[in-house]
Chain A
């Protein structure tokens, strides 16, 4: 019944490791996103995908690579984790494509990543 789900909810790992966060939406939406919320609660867009194609890629280190196997899934792979990657990562989805603005975005529960 969950609209946007993420796994895992918590992730604790060592510096230098590679990890993935999975996101799935069952809303039939065309667009999915990754946002990062830092320790000061500031939220910033990282990536946006529309129908499996990358639309937005903000200035994110190339250690972060999104992968969309189908339009219901958008996974986030992070290589060579650094201390500064510690944050909460949110997946979101919305109905419209790039041409349609203003669609409400529905968020997953977030994944808290802690890099030691």
Chain B
């Protein structure tokens, strides 16, 4: 069974600084997809970024980028120029090609200090 691990229950960053959230996963599949979702206090789950395992290029979305290391099964999220609105729970998630269920990590709570 696939597992997703987020080893940092909490992180904090100063406004305008950069922070990296860690995620590792375990799978025997070769074709799969990885996601980062953000859950602010409103509890809405918001997609931050998506990565296809067959693509070597790291995905980026504005201030958000990933460091995808397939051999190491690592998928970290970098947030640049952190803003107060980035404060939220961040979840790493995995799905493989044969089914669509998401397997989530335990989440990292990000605090942004003004």
Contacts and interface: CB of A to CB of B under 8 A. Distances in A.
B44 A96 contact: no
A42 B106 contact: yes
Interface in A10-55: 31, 33, 35, 40-45, 48, 55
Contacts of A98: 98-100
B35 interface: yes
Contact of A41 (B47, B96, B107): B107
A104 B47 CA distance: 8
Given A101-B32, A104-B35, A45 B43 contact: no
Interface in B3-35: 31-33, 35
Interface residues of A, number: 31
Given A41-B89, A41-B107, A105 B43 contact: no
Nearest to B107: A41
A55 B98 CA distance: 11
Contacts of A43: 91, 102, 104, 107
Contact of A105 (B39, B97, B100, B107): B100
Closest 3 CB pairs between A and B? Answer: A102-B33, A101-B97, A107-B45
Interface of A: 31, 33, 35, 40-45, 48, 55-56, 58, 88, 90, 92, 94, 96, 98-107, 109-110, 112
Interface of B: 31-33, 35, 37, 39, 42-47, 50, 52, 89, 91, 95-104, 106-107
